[in-house]
Each structure stands twice: as structure tokens, then as C-alpha cells.
Amino acid sequence: MYTGQTERPCCLCGNPETTTRLDLPPRAAQLLKNSESIAWRDIEGEVSIHFCESDWATVRDLVLDTGMSPLPRCNTAQASFVLREDFEALLNDVRDEPDQTPLEREMHEDAKRVVETHGSDPYVSDRDLVEARVVLDAFDRLGVTEATSLSATE
Ligand SMILES: [Zn+2]
């Protein structure tokens, strides 16, 4: 059954009570734990991961204090995303591989802006900064720079 983007448990410990969500670009799914079977190019929209209160405190410190990414420890099975086949099943229609470029470009630009304005813009929270750092780190690890795939199709 197609369920869409349902709320998921904590991607680190499985606790169903989560307090914080991070949204990631589709290709970042490759960096998650046990992600070998995920065809990230078939992901429609963002990949979301959720954290319980205590794990979020750890993740925030990890990212902000040490610059490390929590993604390799986050379980893919607890992430929420929508695959193209789910849409096809719902719509009884075969769709082309989704074009993730506009979404990823937007996420890349948003992340950079958050990093630049955190501390001076009161609406940019620590959560936003953690998300931005994780997103930029993921693009970096996967070899995506603005000069390559994100702007190539424009
Ligand atoms: Zn947890």
C-alpha cells in the first residue's frame, strides 16, 4: 500500500518518539547505513531522517563540535522517502526517472545560506545549521560541487 511520507522512528535507536527531522537530498541516501539496496535515483523528493531527543543532542554536538556526519550510522530502514515505483503503483503509470537536479540545487543553496547567516539571523536555528552542515558534507563526499552536476543541466 502506498503510504507516502509517514513519520518514522529515530534512525539511530528506533525510538518512535522523535523530536527532530532533517531533510536530505536524494543522493545522500547512499551515505546511510544499509543503503546498498536503495536506488537513490528513483527517490522522489527529499529523504527525511528523524531523531529522538537524546540522540538529537548527540548528533547536534557531533556535527557542530566535531564536524562529523551522523549519516553512516543512520539506518536507511528508518528514513522516509518516496520511490518512483510507489508512485507508479499509485498512479498505474510508468514514470521517467525523477529529475533531482532542481531540488538538489535548491538544497545546496539553502544550506550555504544557512551556514552564512547562522548567528546573525534569529530565524536560523541550530537544527537548521546541523541540517545545512550535513547536507553540504554529503554533497562534498559524493563529489558534487556547483561546478559539476548541480548546474550542468541549466
Ligand atoms: Zn534515538
Q: Is the pLDDT of residue 104 over 50?
A: yes
Whole-Å CA distances, 65 to 39, 62, 76, 108, 140: 32, 6, 25, 22, 19
- Please name which of 117, 114, 133 lies closest in space to residue 59, comparing C-alpha atoms: 133
Whole-Å CA distances, 131 to 107, 114, 140: 10, 9, 14
Cα 10 to ligand 1 centroid, rounded to whole Å = 5
Q: Where are the domains of the chain?
A: 20-152
Cα 37 to ligand 1 centroid, rounded to whole Å = 23
Does the predicted model carry a pTM greater than 0.85? yes
Q: Which residue has the higher pLDDT, 143 or 86?
A: 143
What's the confidence (pLDDT) of residue 153?
Answer: 45
81-95: per-residue pLDDT in tens? 988 877 777 777 777
What's the confidence (pLDDT) of residue 21?
Answer: 96
Cα 111 to ligand 1 centroid, rounded to whole Å = 24
9-37: per-residue pLDDT in tens? 999 999 999 999 999 999 999 999 999 98
Q: Is the pLDDT of residue 5 over 60?
A: no
Cα 97 to ligand 1 centroid, rounded to whole Å = 33
